[in-house]
Structure 1
Amino acid sequence: MNLLHILHQPSTFHISKPTPFLPPLSPPQSISLFVSPVSHEFNSHLRFNDFSSPTVSSFSPISLSKRNFRNLRLSKTEASFRSNEEESVYTSSTEFEDLAESGAVYQKTLRLVECSMFAAVSGLAYFLSNSLAIENYFGCFFALPIVISSMRWGVAAGRKTMVATAMLLLVLSGPVKASTYLLMHGLVGFTMGSLWRLGANWGLSICLCAFVRAMGAMGYVLISSFLIRENILALITINIHASLTYLFTAIGVNTIPSMNAIYAIFGTLLLLNCGSFVFLLHILYAVFFTRLGMKASLSLPRWLAKAI
């Protein structure tokens, strides 16, 4: 009796977690399992809240982000290509501007080429004239390239031409010929070209060039005296003294000139010789520059401008 009463009592069971395998769910879920007390059968009811199936729309942000990343990379590549293209166009345009006749690179290159050409022509002409012993016939043209360089490109270009010619002669003929050219022709051409470039008066130009020529001649005499181990300057003054003594004796003047007077006479004659040579150089170079179409850059005296 008691046993039957115990068997017919209702019983209730609560299971918090399901035993079967369920697929993972993205939103939170609640599952409840109920057992009927009358029939002692298990009636299970599953409630799934807020299920969301994986569709294409859930993966659309990832695909869009990749596409944007690709578009960003393409845009960066295109921008870098455009920037490189613009930079190449700018550099090419600047190079063309520099290579134009009014560009700085073109002018510097032209100045360098002309100075080198003038130095080569002057050095070769001096070397050949020395080798063929015709230096006295072409001596008036040795300073012309330096004057042209100074007139066209400035004082610095004339100095560079003079130094380049001296270095070329140093390689071809040795230090003696190079120093001879520098003292007798190079310094005169540089002085004349500098004064003409600065627009100096002809009187000042002739005086300074004659003084430079005289100093160069004295330097040439000293170098020659050192090379032949003989005092050429003393020989010149002794000969002048002997000639003047003989002249005074022939005239009937019983006097002997002093050595100071001999030196003064020698210096005066040297300056006269150099002055006449430089004066002829001025006239010759003025005519030459006028024929080249550079008359406007010369400050000629009136009598010479009217004659030309």
Structure 2
Amino acid sequence: MLPSATMNILKVHGCYRLQPPISHLSQNIHPSSLTTHHKSKLCHVSSPSIHSSNPQFRISRTNSNLRNVRVSEIGAPLWTQKDDKQDNSGSPEDLTMNGEAYQKTLRLVECSMFAALGGLAYILSSSLAIENYFGCFFALPIVFSSMRWDIVAGRKTMVATATLLLVLAGPIKALTYLLMHGFLGLAMGSLWRSKANWGVSIFTSAIVRAIGAMGYVVMYSFLIRENILALITINIHASATFILTSLGFLTIPSMNLIYAIFGTLLLLNCCFFVFLLHLLYALFFTRLGMKASLRLPKWFAKAI
């Protein structure tokens, strides 16, 4: 009775198939081919014969034999968790307060904010015709960026402000800002960043301001098709002739003397303006707690 039950269990579609032992397979067989071999050789046992003949029969020979299969060569994985940890190990450190990425992002954000503030103040002052009253503050964002970070940050602030004015107000406003305030702020910020003496800083900044003023006059002379510089020198010549005649000197000054007087007056005007900017900006930075980064004269340091 037992042999007949066993024969019914192993009867698959009217044929008997014998499986070779898996432990005798070659070790060089790939796991995918081995799986295909088992799928083709294993027989599907009909459920009625199992339940009717011997329900306690278990097919566990295949699982036990599969444990003895070995693969000869296994390729190295292309990605490991260790490599991923090494790639991302520096990212948390860069996001800290002293990280390089954090400092670069903070400098970029501050330069953008200062550029937007300077451009907005210049546009509003020009629109409301109060530019002469707030002209001393237009160079402050550039100087503050240079003192807060470095000279490169001050130059980026100046370029960003000029670009914003070019887009919003046109090229005339952008060039006027650069000639009258932009280059002056960059010169002052660079000299203060290098802790230059106030005498050198005032004289150099005054020269930059005077050159910017001359460029401003030339630009508007080209726009209105009129030589404004010639008109200024003619008026100076007439004023000097009238003064000399009223004093009893019957002489006419030469044009070279007139040019020298004009240059001297322009340089004095720029020196006084830059000196007032030095006083105002030094007081502002001192109130912000940046006194250690400034090189102040002794008389001004004692006064504040």
Please give the TM-score of this superposition, normalised by the length of structure 1: 0.75
1:200 maps onto 2:200 in alignment = no
CA apart distance, 1:61: 8.4
Question: Which residue of the other structure, out of 217, 221, 226, is the alignment partner of 1:221?
Answer: 217
Comparing both chains, which one has the higher relative contact order based on Cα–Cα distances under 8 Å and sequence gaps of 6 or more? Answer: 2
Question: Which residue of the other structure, out of 226, 241, 244, is the alignment partner of 1:245?
Answer: 241
1:110 maps onto 2:106 in alignment = yes
CA apart distance, 1:67: 3.9
1:162 maps onto 2:158 in alignment = yes
Does the CA-based 8 Å contact 2:23-2:69 persist in structure 1?
no
Q: Distance in 2 between matches of 1:116 and 1:57?
A: 73
Question: Which residue of the other structure, out of 252, 268, 272, is the alignment partner of 1:272?
Answer: 268
Matching of residues 13-24 of structure 1 within 5 Å: none
Q: Secondary structure at the match of 2:240?
A: helix
CA apart distance, 1:90: 3.8
Q: 1:122 to 1:57 in 2, by over 3 A?
A: closer
Q: Secondary structure at the match of 1:199?
A: coil
Q: Which amino acid aligns with 1:69?
A: V
Q: Secondary structure at the match of 1:230?
A: coil
**1:51-82: per-residue Cα shift (whole Å, max 9, x none)?**
xxxx9797498758854439x97x977xx78x
Q: Distance in 2 between matches of 1:218 and 1:285?
A: 25
CA apart distance, 1:238: 0.6
**1:89-115: per-residue Cα shift (whole Å, max 9, x none)?**
444441111111111111111111111
Q: Distance in 2 between matches of 1:104 and 1:253?
A: 70
Matching residue of 1:299: 295
Q: Distance in 1 between matches of 2:278 and 2:197?
A: 12
Q: Distance in 2 between matches of 1:76 and 1:164?
A: 52
Matching residue of 1:27: none
Q: 1:57 to 1:203 in 2, by over 3 A?
A: closer
Structure 1 segments of 4+ aligned residues over 6 angstroms from their partners: 55-58
Matching residue of 1:211: 207
Aligned residues: 249
Matching residue of 1:285: 281
CA apart distance, 1:203: 0.5
Which ranges of structure 1 fall in alignment gaps of 5 or more residues?
1-54
**1:104-144: per-residue Cα shift (whole Å, max 9, x none)?**
11111111111111111101110111011110111000000
Q: Distance in 2 between matches of 1:129 and 1:214?
A: 22
Q: Distance in 2 between matches of 1:169 and 1:130?
A: 11
Matching residue of 2:71: 69
**1:153-209: per-residue Cα shift (whole Å, max 9, x none)?**
211111111111111111111111110000000000000000111111111000000
Matching residue of 2:31: none
**1:250-288: per-residue Cα shift (whole Å, max 9, x none)?**
111211111111100000000000000000000100011
Matching residue of 1:28: none
Which ranges of structure 2 fall in alignment gaps of 5 or more residues?
1-19, 28-64
Matching residue of 1:127: 123
Q: Distance in 1 between matches of 2:210 and 2:152?
A: 24
Q: Which amino acid aligns with 1:107?
A: Q
Q: 1:65 to 1:285 in 2, by over 3 A?
A: same
Larger of the two Rg values belongs to structure: 1
Q: 1:65 to 1:252 in 2, by over 3 A?
A: same
1:263 maps onto 2:265 in alignment = no
Matching residue of 1:188: 184
Please give the TM-score of this superposition, normalised by the length of structure 2: 0.76
